[in-house]
Structure 1
């Protein structure tokens, strides 16, 4: 059975599946003003519709005859992988819900009985996430076209420079005018560069964002001006840009113990500085990127700077990125618990790290003073987790299964289950919270 409730564009399409017509009617009354609804009571009818019609969001009940919601969402993912998938489920179905999250790519789930406002809010967040994905795809295509245009412009300018000084002055004026109107584009380019780092390194988007947010927070705690804090944030966001210049062989050789990386891999800050300095408006970022691997005692790379000779942004980024590497580094085969990572780094205060900045960083993580007007992400041991904390990254177990999802609010019951997990598997969990 199927009925379509039409809605004017640009409403997103929402497919509803529940084998109880009364529930479908209730959902239809609640959501008809916000979405273009397509309603089904039979899973096979819904799948047949998806075979030939694009849908933006799919919302399914868990308990149904013939096929449960987890199975349906898994099949729907094969047909329309870009659609957002949500599940309505009861507490007793938690095992099936976890399976749906892992196998069906479920964005979120809604507990029965639901509250109307919470259900609408969850759907609104899913819709926003869906639109952001579409916008990111369009932006990437736009940036590619913009980069081609900028390349052509630069080639033209180089020819004119060799011909006459007057032409150079005219070209500079045009470029300055163009840069004055491209402030937003610059931020888009930075986002594109960050996305390029993610693609090349295989790190999650949250990796560099977390390091950037923590670096900015340390700078602010040290009393730096907003402009300098912002500059350090951008440096940290792009601190791995040089990795795109490494060969596949260099990337493949990053088998590490502790924080000692392959020599070729350690050269990426210099490559990154050379890349960034080619973009005039990003040139002030180069020194913090170039010297991020210097040691406070002068034994680091590439220039063996020591003490205050090392740019303060580089000293901050060094501490934050090394801590993140010790507890969550993709290429770190011997990850440490948060407490052990702090102990390891304190032992190297005065040799590798600026002791004063290290104290500021660890105090920041422990006090967790969140400014409501700014973002921040914290790296926490289970002992530091509190009810009400919200995860900024999925908690993925060693076997690859997702235990808790991004955006989930922590409660006492979850904390107790995490304690049991640590005890049963003799391990330590690291969590990331907003």
Structure 2
């Protein structure tokens, strides 16, 4: 066991693996980013470290002797629930990963070999999320304490009541701001994870974002509440999460050309998606949409053969949006279908494959029946601090650079300009015309 000691209150990371070379690589990587790093050559040694001092984040290998990563992280969850848990695995067995997620309630799993930038980003986001949650809890306790003080004030102390009211209002506004940052961080994390899924194959690049955007527009056109629209948008981003264990051959083969055995594997991806999201309470509605995204309105779909309005509305919307994009990228048939022909096929499937009401909203979207925020295209070199993104900024490789609604700061603009220089100075972004969100 080794320990880096620093006088700065830097986050502490514990890396657990039975392979010293892996621990050395992780130690070098995170030391260079300014973190305090502790290492342990197994689960028992890792538990001993946790008993001696507080740890912010644990990265554990899955396959270790005596105590594997799933058993180790399960104990960490019970004894130190506030410690963030990450799983490092080279497993190809998706079920083993699902079991580890359910037992240890891990924040994220990372596959070997890892990409240094990706693992640093995951750790940074996890620690930022934890910091926001701690700040949220502090503000909630502050609000509660001030409420109790307010109750005890004498009616004659109007000036003091006014002073406390102002303080409460400031704490409440700050709490709302932290809650909003938490929600945005959560959605950004989902978008990043969606990017990771899409990196498995060429056809998947940008697919999830297009499906999510079309599903959101259809849901908005149907008059759904903002919470439901957001849930459907998230389902679109995660529509292919159950395919994460598919072989490259299966991912590249159109559904119409799959063999019987391949179809059997393919049909299970919706159930696997539901299982992967099972530990996340806030995504239970999304999990149901993913399970039923391949049900047909006439009852001839899978996995449960649901019919009509027995299928959740979000799943009915997701089915149409996903098929529309898959027709154009060759995901359903060997030959790619032109957008106009794809629309015609979707409309032809009303009442059989798709819900007629969803098809009607789909037609309305393409006839200009959806109001989008006003924006203007601005070159990267002309961006100013305080501008708000109207849409995600996507790299030429299809990766998420910045999420929609991000407020630009000077250092972010500088990074965008550096990226723009490497891309021949052609990067433009959509900026809200009205800067107020």
Q: Aligning the two structures, in what range does the TM-score lie when normalised by the shorter sequence?
A: 0.3 to 0.5
